[in-house]
Amino acid sequence: MYGRTGSTNTLAVFTAASQTGAIQHVIPDPKVVQAVGFAAGAFTAAVSVYGTTSNTAINGVLLGTISLSGTGTATDGFAFSAPWPYIYAVSTVTAFTGSPTVTVYLGV
């Protein structure tokens, strides 16, 4: 279970154009989500984070979307306090040069 106060955990690592990360059971406290993207050149990516009451990574409620674009590295994030017991992330990489990697971190 993720979510000890003061901790940061990797929620998902994406290396393909569109992927859904694994469902993660979390303590329902306020959280922050940060996405960090790396590519050999320019890239554009989006990461949507969902909350759900079930332990499957489908049909969740959108908590927020992080948009990334840049050359080499880009990062952004958001905070939320919705008490969902499970969360997951979905990535969409729309344009890139090189092999992009997007890592999504969860912090409390």
Q: Residue 6, by phi and psi: left (phi above 0), alpha (psi -120 to 50) or beta?
A: left
Helices (H) and strands (E) in the chain, counts: 0, 7
Question: Is the pLDDT higher at 6 or at 106?
Answer: 106
Structural tokens at position 82: 């919705």
- Is the pLDDT at 44 greater than 70, yes or no? yes
In order of their start, the domains of the chain are 8-107 (2.60.120.260)
Structural tokens at position 53: 């009451």
pLDDT for res 6: 63
- Is the pLDDT at 60 greater than 50, yes or no? yes
Q: How confident is the model at residue 5 (pLDDT cuts 50, 70, 90)?
A: low
Question: Is the pLDDT higher at 14 or at 98?
Answer: 14
